Chain A
Amino acid sequence: MPMKGRFPVRRTLQYLSQGDVVFKSSVKVMTVNYNTAGELSEGARKFVFFNIPQIQYKNPWVQIMLFRNMTPSPFLRFYLDSGEQVLVDVEDKTNKEITEHVKKILGKSKEMLEKEERERKKLSHPATFGPKKYHLRECMCEIEGQVPCPAFVPLPKEMRGKYKAAMKNEA
């Protein structure tokens, strides 16, 4: 299957999950105004090309709109749910600087993300076993230190019901 697009690495899950901008829950819409030509919009163009897929992957419920060649200088505008609009001027900035800036003003901090991660972990206990959807392991035989699955390693004679019944009958 051929790779699609100019930089197909942008479509890989590994690349997308490397995005570290997770918006606060108050951010609803992100709008990017930029130009397709011009030295000053270069950073904005790279941002749109490389970083926006990462951001959208991490924030699937944020609407992102792109406007091309509508204003002489590029900028970002965020619409929060309180009605507040945040304007960010990105003229003459590289795409890395833009992501850093955005992460600083509207991204969830690392502590918050870690806290949420911990909360999510608390809901499920890793030691339990059951259906793959809810647990890590399906059967007790998969856990280290337990009796291996009799499908792969036959049980010793003493543990098999056949032997035990035979012994009882003998006695």
Chain B
Amino acid sequence: PAWAPRAVPARGRKTRHDPPAKSKAGRVKLPPPVDPEELLVVQERYRQHRLVLSALRAEFRAEVLQKKREERLAAEGSPEELEEHRRLMAWNEEENARQRARREERLRKEEEEQKRRKSEIAEKRARKMEAFLEEKEKEVLQLQEEAKNFITPENLEARIEECLDNPRNYNFAIDKDGRIVRRTVLS
């Protein structure tokens, strides 16, 4: 439209710093003459015209929006859509149920695993205790066996006599091949 501001003002040959021409020295710029009654009438007519036009435009815009919204709602709320939605939700529920089953399975397996491990550990511990007790038993028996050969104040004299009667020779010779020779004579 003509009343829109122009991007580049047309200046012609001179820049803004050049002085105006001598022929324009006494020039008085006046606005165009306006008839006040005509102006009022014309303004009133324009005002009404623009009012009607903008009202029509708003009306049509609202109508188009309404139509679009109704169409969208109809597309969304149709029975097929609801049916489809319910079907998908049911499928989702099934999927969740399957997942639940899988999870319970997993938890059950883990519990079993744990119980098995615990029982294994208990068994091992029991076995270790048994072995330990056996060891101790054996030691006690061995000690009892040895106790029979101990030297007590009662058989002290007898044992001394026995040792003096049977001298034992602990001397021997050995070579690098490991053959031992007992030839030394006890003196």
Which of B4-12, B36-44, B95-103 lies at the binding interface?
B95-103
B90 to chain A, nearest CB (A): 10
A105 and B91 contact, CB distance less than 8 A: yes
Q: How far is it, in angstroms, between the C-alpha of A87 and the C-alpha of B99 when the chains are bound?
A: 12
Partner of A86, one of B76, B89, B99, B106: B89
A26 and B76 contact, CB distance less than 8 A: yes
Partner of B103, one of A87, A88, A91, A101: A91
Nearest B-chain residue to A107, judged by Cβ: B88
Q: Mark A18-31, 1 if CB is under 8 A from B, else 0.
A: 00000001100000
B69 to chain A, nearest CB (A): 12
Q: How far is it, in angstroms, between the C-alpha of A89 and the C-alpha of B103 when the chains are bound?
A: 10
Interface residues of A: mostly helix, strand, loop or mixed? mixed
B104 to chain A, nearest CB (A): 12
Q: How far is it, in angstroms, between the C-alpha of A70 and the C-alpha of B103 when the chains are bound?
A: 19
**Residue numbers in B under 8 Å from A87 (CB-CB):** 92, 96
Partner of B92, one of A25, A26, A88: A88
Q: How far is it, in angstroms, between the C-alpha of A104 and the C-alpha of B88 when the chains are bound?
A: 8
B76 and A105 contact, CB distance less than 8 A: no
A91 and B76 contact, CB distance less than 8 A: no
Q: How far is it, in angstroms, between the C-alpha of A73 and the C-alpha of B102 when the chains are bound?
A: 13
**Residue numbers in A under 8 Å from B102 (CB-CB):** 92
Q: Mark B67-100, 1 if CB is under 8 A from A, else 0.
A: 0000000001000000000001101100110011
**Residue numbers in A under 8 Å from B91 (CB-CB):** 104-105
B28 to chain A, nearest CB (A): 42
A105 and B89 contact, CB distance less than 8 A: yes
Q: How far is it, in angstroms, between the C-alpha of A73 and the C-alpha of B100 when the chains are bound?
A: 11
Which A residues are closer than 8 A to B by beta carbons? 25-26, 73, 86-89, 91-93, 101, 104-106
